[in-house]
Structure 1
Amino acid sequence: MKRFSTILMSMLLIGGMTLQAQTEISKEEKAVVIKYLKETQNDMIKVLKGLSEAQLNFKPDAGSWSVAECLKHITISESALWGNFVTGAMATAADPSRRGEVQMTDDQIMGLIESREQKVKTFPPFEPNNKPESVKDVLKEFKSLRAEHIKFVKKTNADLRNHYGTLPFGTVDTYQAILFMAGHTKRHTDQMKEVMANASFPKQ
């Protein structure tokens, strides 16, 4: 009987450790999202480097955003997405019972947000005119935010898979929300590149 109790206790401990391991993102998951956060930041900074005021503020037409406006939208979104879908989501209790609500894979999330095939009008709070600061100041703010977010991912042992948020296309877990945020930067960096490819884009 004593032997049986010892075996049972060992099984429970092993089961508990397995459950704990499953509630933390893996080293591989951390590496993927950190790489994505860094790459999307670096690509955007590279695109912005050396642009003149005329180039930053050029619009292909009245209904399009300039490169500067894309940056402002990205920075507004960086703060809002993190606040709502990471800080806000992590303030609630983890709920593994809701995993079935997450219908998209990580790769599908990234593909969806990166794609420029379907254009979507942003919500009023995310409009670039809500950020009147200079491009230099906005870029500094973005870099500071992204540094904080990368630092969080590097250090956290939080259960990012069992906290959730709702985006227009459905429920995502917190890990996917961070992927979405990084992909959002790429989406609008590609928009910057489209503006710069316009035949009327200033030479300097």
Structure 2
Amino acid sequence: PLLLILFVSCWALAADKADKPAATPKYDAKFGEKYLKDTEKNFLDSFNHLSDAQLKFKPAPDKWSVMEVAEHVTKAEDMFNQMVTEQVMKSPADPEKAKQVEGKETGILEKVPDRSVKAQAPEALKPTGQWKTKDELIKHFKETRAKNIAYIKDHYPEMRQHFMDQPPAGLLDAYQWLLFQGAHSKRHTAQIEEVKADPNFPKK
């Protein structure tokens, strides 16, 4: 249910088979590990140097601060870890479904970070001040992201045989769901940069 609410207005095209570029990447364990590491670095680099005033600045009363965006991403990281390890991978292996999800990686990586399409987060993933300091949040995010990276390393290609169908993203395998979260963190890294670009953003 959380995924349905989180992605219903934003990801309708995310898992579609996008037009393939001339050279399609090899979507394997190495690619997945690197993508999660790269998106982690960019996410953390976007705010780990900011002051408390900068972290708490809100462009408007109804907009999230950088700290709130970071909390949302961290909560989603936990949710995806739980979903993949406790639900998707515990479903019966069904290799025959592989053809149905072939090529969806490109759509995920292109569509999910696209902030021209807006979405509303479910209540469970909205910021509530769960982590009192930036350092606590970063520590927690790093721990969960490390688990997700290790999971790809330890369970690929088995991940390609377990699936979950979540409208509107549709059927994805366990590997693709973790790519989805990497792309989700990339999306919100861009949101953090938007907050920082606000003319009223504190200088320090």
TM category (shorter chain) comes to: 0.7 to 0.9
* DSSP 3-state at the match of 2:112: helix
**Matches of 2:85 and 2:106, distance apart in 1:** 19
The residue number in structure 2 matching 1:175 is 175
**1:97 counterpart = 2:96:** yes
**Matches of 1:178 and 1:187, distance apart in 2:** 14
TM-score scaled by length of structure 1: 0.81
**Counterparts in 2 of 1:97 and 1:130: CA distance versus 1, 3 Å:** farther
Distance apart, 1:57 and its partner CA: 0.7
Deviates further, 66-75 or 164-173 = 164-173
The residue number in structure 2 matching 1:152 is 151
**Matches of 1:28 and 1:77, distance apart in 2:** 23
* DSSP 3-state at the match of 2:58: coil
The residue number in structure 2 matching 1:82 is 81
The unaligned stretches of length 5 or more in structure 1 are 1-26
Deviates further, 139-148 or 96-105 = 96-105
**Matches of 2:154 and 2:84, distance apart in 1:** 18
Distance apart, 1:146 and its partner CA: 1.0
Does structure 2 conserve the Cα–Cα contact (< 8 Å) formed by 1:161 and 1:175? yes
* DSSP 3-state at the match of 2:28: helix
Distance apart, 1:162 and its partner CA: 2.0
**Counterparts in 2 of 1:195 and 1:101: CA distance versus 1, 3 Å:** same
Does structure 2 conserve the Cα–Cα contact (< 8 Å) formed by 1:76 and 1:126? yes
Paired amino acid for 1:171? L
Report the aligned-residue RMSD: 1.9
The unaligned stretches of length 5 or more in structure 2 are 1-25
- Residue-pair matches, total: 178
Does structure 1 conserve the Cα–Cα contact (< 8 Å) formed by 2:29 and 2:157? no
The residue number in structure 2 matching 1:51 is 50
TM-score scaled by length of structure 2: 0.81
> 1:1-204 counterparts in 2 under 5 A?
29-99=28-98, 101-102=100-101, 105-129=104-128, 131-167=130-166, 168-204=168-204
- The Cα offsets for residues 11-52 of structure 1, whole Å up to 9 and x where unpaired, read as xxxxxxxxxxxxxxxx96111111100101111121113201
**Matches of 1:146 and 1:60, distance apart in 2:** 28
Distance apart, 1:73 and its partner CA: 0.4
- The Cα offsets for residues 77-135 of structure 1, whole Å up to 9 and x where unpaired, read as 00101211343111121012334553761010111211111010011111111624322
* DSSP 3-state at the match of 2:116: coil
* DSSP 3-state at the match of 1:165: strand
Specify the structure having the higher radius of gyration (Cα). Answer: 1
Distance apart, 1:165 and its partner CA: 1.9
**Matches of 1:29 and 1:157, distance apart in 2:** 8
